[in-house]
Chain A
């Protein structure tokens, strides 16, 4: 197939940046989106041009590196799919494709499609430690976790920290990411002693990084490659309200 790409090119954080148009022929519909970009980059290198910088690592949908906005949608048009798992068969022959980096004040652009997402790491860091019992191996089944709690924790734990929720949110809010992290630990017995402090600290760091607030629009959930539900944001709100009130009467 043939595609026309409009790709955001930006040399450095300080550079203005602009769209550059490339036509690519003989793209196989079975190529992943990143393989298609590899093909473009090979051609660019052969022509002595600077290849398009983009992040990637696992290429199997588990690391969360491959951040890009494809035709206005984070990770492209397929639901529950990372860019590396998106295939060219999702586009019609002759498609015009706009590729942009995540856009948020908290994610400064480093080069082309690469932005700095360490704000997300700092949110996790702000959560602090999780106390776990050390010493002798615990007996089997001595820490019972109800099935429903287990399911919720595992759903939330799927978050790969890609930042698509921020990219897709009209408020550039990282609330789904934050909620996934908070909800994951909130449902497990480990780390319960720090539960209330953790949610307050992590939310404070979220706000301070310059992410927007959540207006319950729900775009994050549609963009999330791990299909994390906004019900985890309700869990976060619940925990934050409880933690704040408890800290008042402490």
Chain B
């Protein structure tokens, strides 16, 4: 892509950024090169990821219905979906990469917009969540990598059964299915792992209380009249995700679940 980005300032008299003759590719380049266009894609990705986070949390609440419910659900996701599983995984990865790469590229470019800062910094209404989007985003991103290494690949930690250490992926239940329930118990009964998960949930919450209302603004879907409601929607959505996930982790950690 022939974009003059990379944190450098484009020359005010540089080449026209709006191509006169249009092909699909030049259109895409111009759209992604513009600060609003790139932001729209970041916001679309963010909303996609947030929706995923909601359904992921809701599905995992099955842990409160007991081992059978959770393992059946996990089996359904992994086997009954078939090719759809790979479609969903590919789609999620694509959305995640688009979100992260475009957001960080915008940040990197904008870092050049004020080379000399103020000696006396001040602000009136900038919320902490708004100013720390890149930071909370990076924490969430690192956590997602950890989460995959932990539960999807089983690299981080092993379960203990009858005094033996067993890889997460080798755990089987009475029906011969992958015993996700025991795996989750093994994970969250370990204090440092539980603490890490809780910390990441707070970062995600802070990312979303700004991110969700901000996405509405980016799509142009709010006015002064609806601003407060949309901000409330952000708090509510982020709060529900936080509550659900924290409930799962603490319930296992404190032994409310799985001490039969």
A residues in contact (CB < 8 Å) with B: 6, 8, 19, 69, 71-73, 79, 98, 100, 103-106, 119, 122, 168, 170-173, 175, 200-201, 203-219, 221-223, 229-231, 233-241, 244, 247-248, 250
How many B residues have CB within 8 A of the partner chain? 55
Task: Give every chain A residue within 8 A of B17 (Cβ-Cβ).
Answer: 204, 207-208
B70 an interface residue at 8 Å Cβ cutoff?
no
C-alpha gap A110/B227 in the complex (Å): 39
Please tell me if the beta carbons of B12 and A122 are within 8 angstroms of each other in the complex: yes
Contact of A206 among B35, B117, B130, B223 (CB under 8 A): B35
Contact of A238 among B113, B126, B210, B220 (CB under 8 A): B220
**Would you give the shortest CB distance from B171 to chain A, in whole angstroms?**
43
Contact of B22 among A106, A172, A237, A248 (CB under 8 A): A248
Contact of A173 among B10, B22, B110, B213 (CB under 8 A): B110
C-alpha gap A6/B118 in the complex (Å): 13
C-alpha gap A201/B36 in the complex (Å): 12
Contact of A104 among B30, B114, B131, B219 (CB under 8 A): B114
B208 an interface residue at 8 Å Cβ cutoff?
no
Task: Give every chain A residue within 8 A of B14 (Cβ-Cβ).
Answer: 208
C-alpha gap A171/B131 in the complex (Å): 10
Known: A105-B9, A172-B114, A235-B220. A213 touches B39 (CB 8 A): yes
Interface SS of chain B = loop
Please tell me if the beta carbons of A72 and B120 are within 8 angstroms of each other in the complex: yes
Contact of A237 among B122, B130, B213, B219 (CB under 8 A): B219
Please tell me if the beta carbons of B10 and A208 are within 8 angstroms of each other in the complex: yes
Closest residue on chain A to residue B122 by CB atoms? A72
Contact of A218 among B12, B34, B35, B130 (CB under 8 A): B130
Task: Give every chain B residue within 8 A of A229 (Cβ-Cβ).
Answer: 224
Task: Give every chain B residue within 8 A of A172 (Cβ-Cβ).
Answer: 110, 113-114
Task: Give every chain A residue within 8 A of B135 (Cβ-Cβ).
Answer: none
Please tell me if the beta carbons of A105 and B125 are within 8 angstroms of each other in the complex: no
Please tell me if the beta carbons of B109 and A73 are within 8 angstroms of each other in the complex: no
C-alpha gap A200/B19 in the complex (Å): 11
Please tell me if the beta carbons of B35 and A234 are within 8 angstroms of each other in the complex: no
Please tell me if the beta carbons of A210 and B113 are within 8 angstroms of each other in the complex: yes
Please tell me if the beta carbons of A230 and B217 are within 8 angstroms of each other in the complex: yes
**Would you give the shortest CB distance from A170 to chain B, in whole angstroms?**
6
Please tell me if the beta carbons of A204 and B34 are within 8 angstroms of each other in the complex: yes
Please tell me if the beta carbons of A171 and B113 are within 8 angstroms of each other in the complex: yes
Please tell me if the beta carbons of B223 and A234 are within 8 angstroms of each other in the complex: yes
7 closest pairs, A vs B, by CB? A72-B122, A238-B220, A212-B110, A210-B9, A213-B35, A212-B113, A222-B124
B133 an interface residue at 8 Å Cβ cutoff?
yes
Given A200-B34, A237-B219, 16 more pairs with CB closer than 8 A: A72-B118, A203-B34, A204-B30, A204-B34, A210-B113, A213-B109, A217-B126, A217-B127, A231-B222, A231-B227, A234-B221, A235-B220, A237-B39, A238-B219, A239-B220, A248-B27
C-alpha gap A209/B17 in the complex (Å): 12
C-alpha gap A179/B9 in the complex (Å): 21
Closest residue on chain A to residue B213 by CB atoms? A216
Closest residue on chain B to residue A123 by CB atoms? B12
C-alpha gap A230/B106 in the complex (Å): 20
Task: Give every chain B residue within 8 A of A234 (Cβ-Cβ).
Answer: 217, 220-223
C-alpha gap A8/B39 in the complex (Å): 35
B40 an interface residue at 8 Å Cβ cutoff?
yes
Known: A207-B34, A237-B218. A219 touches B110 (CB 8 A): no
